[in-house]
Amino acid sequence: MKVWFENQEKENGTMAKIKMTTPIVEMDGDEMTRILWKMIKEDLLEPYIELNTEYYDLGLEYRNETNDQVTIDAANATKKYKVAVKCATITPNAARMTEYNLKEMWKSPNGTIRAILDGTVFRAPILVKGIVPYVKNWTKPITIARHAYGDVYKNTEIKVPGPGKAELVFTAADGTETRELIHNFDGAGIIQGIHNTNKSIESFARACFSYAVDTKQDLWFSTKDTISKKYDHTFKDIFQEIYDNEYKAKFEELGITYFYTLIDDAVARVIRSEGGFIWACKNYDGDVMSDMVATAYGDLSMMTSVLVSPSGVYEYEAAHGTVQRHYYKHLKGEETSTNPIATILSAAMMLRYTFDLDKEADAIENAVKQVLKEGYRTIDIMPQAGESTEGIKQVGTAKMGDLIAERV
């Protein structure tokens, strides 16, 4: 275990700042998340902690300048120091290619980082009194456990120009080839190749079972093994084997359950449930479902996120994106109403779960709860149609941050 901080000492009758002795990796991002992170550092962290960070600019302009090497460097630094805070980043599409004059359509930074770190992303909604989920029967949080390796995020793609045969080929170390026909094309088309490893799936399964035990929650897992009889079925088989051999007795002792079902059935069951469980998903499923769950509980800005790797690496971030529309308003000098709460509470999670600074984490979390209790809201979490607006006050990004900082 690294020694992260020196003991606090009193100076002139006041408590000195907590001195960080081992660096953490700071991954700056794009658009509004750069603004939010600067605000959080200056108002909530630096007044109390002497931050020691190794800085990496993952903004799209610098990623383009370094041919995306900065993303790889940031991931490797995270492996070294074991802890990172990451801001949301742009995954470019065709429009961004023109906007930023990019050399190429760089891959998702999250995909690159997660492929290097491996691990599982746990995302949980923030439940507060006064913000009612769109799914009215959700009275408890649903935590999404997203496998953070492989699948479409580490894919290889080909645009097929015309007629021909596409095959899936595996060449073993001894030179033996295994071939499967993908498709006989009679015209143009597309091909995508994805992969995963048993080692990564096993780590994903153990992370999910361990988290369920630690939090005393039921664990659901879903794939589409009836269609994907080798790929998805391997996920199902590995989960079941690890559960039976390593976790079944502990689950029974705690009175919690492990439940497997098909992904479409899981979605239907989740909507009818009251919440209060962990839903483990493959990489793409977890990407989609975490956004759906976050929005249904209130907003993407009300969901925390942490990646946990088998080697003990933690990467903390908010679950939402870069908020492009608000950023353009910010550049014009107009007031924005981007919600900073998820980013703030992700920083609090880091203080609590990595650094054991429970008192400091409590102060931040209680400040957030107090501000919301007093009725302050950014535009994304204002009352829904037909709900009471009595005592509710809409504020902008900076004001929400100031209100929380004043109550820490």
Give me the CATH number covering residue 45: 3.40.718.10
Q: What is the pLDDT of residue 3?
A: 45
Burial of 138-165, coded b for 16+ CB within 10 Å and e otherwise, reads: beebbbbbbbbbbbebbeeeeeeeeeee
Among 300-304, 330-334, 391-395, which range has the highest average pLDDT? 391-395
Judged against a pLDDT cut of 90, whether residue 302 lies above it is answered with no
Give the CA distances from residue 246 to residues 213, 250, 278, 307, in Å, rounded to whole numbers and listed in that order: 12, 8, 18, 23
Hey, what long-range contacts does 320-326 have (CB within 8 A, 24 or more apart)?
320/88, 320/294, 321/88, 322/29, 322/30, 322/31, 322/32, 322/33, 322/88, 322/89, 322/90, 323/31, 323/32, 323/33, 323/88, 324/31, 324/32, 326/31, 326/32, 326/397
CA–CA separation, 374 and 129 (whole Å): 11
Judged against a pLDDT cut of 90, whether residue 298 lies above it is answered with no
Residue 2 domain flag: yes
Judged against a pLDDT cut of 80, whether residue 11 lies above it is answered with no
Residue 302 domain flag: no
* pLDDT > 70: percent of the chain: 96
DSSP codes joined into one string, 207-265: HHHHHHHHHT-EEEEEE-TTT-TTHHHHHHHHHHHHIIIIIHHHHHHHT--EEEEEHHH
Dihedral sign of CA atoms 116, 67, 26, 333 in order: negative
Is 278 found in the same domain as 238?
yes
Is 204 found in the same domain as 178?
no
- Render pLDDT for 364-408 as a digit per residue (tens, 0 to 9): 989 998 999 999 999 888 887 777 888 999 999 889 999 999 999
Q: What is the pLDDT of residue 15?
A: 58
Residue 234 domain flag: yes
Is 226 found in the same domain as 186?
no
Range of the domain at 314: 1-127+307-408
Residue 395 domain flag: yes
- Render pLDDT for 46-85 as a digit per residue (tens, 0 to 9): 988 898 999 999 999 999 999 999 999 999 999 999 999 9
Residue 98 domain flag: yes
> pLDDT confidence of 122, banded at 50, 70, 90?
very high
Domain boundary among 252, 271, 297: 297
Q: What is the pLDDT of residue 4?
A: 52
CA–CA separation, 221 and 152 (whole Å): 19
Model confidence, pTM: 0.80
**Residue 305, H or E segment:** strand 303-308
* pLDDT > 90: percent of the chain: 60
Residue 52 · residue 21 · CB < 8 Å: yes
Number of domain units in the chain: 3
Q: What is the pLDDT of residue 375?
A: 93
Give the CA distances from residue 206 to residues 19, 170, 245, in Å, rounded to whole numbers and listed in that order: 34, 28, 11
Judged against a pLDDT cut of 80, whether residue 299 lies above it is answered with no
Residue 320 domain flag: yes
Domain boundary among 269, 297, 325: 297
Is 396 found in the same domain as 261?
no
Domain boundary among 297, 327, 344: 297
Is 372 found in the same domain as 284?
no
- Render pLDDT for 208-252 as a digit per residue (tens, 0 to 9): 999 899 889 999 999 999 999 999 999 999 999 999 999 999 999
- Render pLDDT for 156-201 as a digit per residue (tens, 0 to 9): 999 999 999 999 999 999 999 999 999 999 999 999 999 999 999 9
DSSP codes joined into one string, 92-130: --HHHHHHTT-SS-PPPHHHHHHHHH--EEEEEE---TT
Is 209 found in the same domain as 186?
no
Mean pLDDT for all residues in the chain? 90
Is 384 found in the same domain as 337?
yes
CATH number of 209's domain: 3.40.35
Is 80 found in the same domain as 186?
no
Give the CA distances from residue 176 to residues 169, 173, 255, 331, in Å, rounded to whole numbers and listed in that order: 10, 7, 48, 58
Is 406 found in the same domain as 328?
yes
- For the residues 332-353, what does the mean pLDDT come to? 86
Say which residues have a Cβ less than 8 Å from residue 117's Cβ, sequence separation at least 6: 75, 78, 79, 148, 307, 309, 313, 315
Is 354 found in the same domain as 257?
no
Judged against a pLDDT cut of 80, whether residue 145 lies above it is answered with yes
Is 142 found in the same domain as 69?
no
Is 37 found in the same domain as 121?
yes
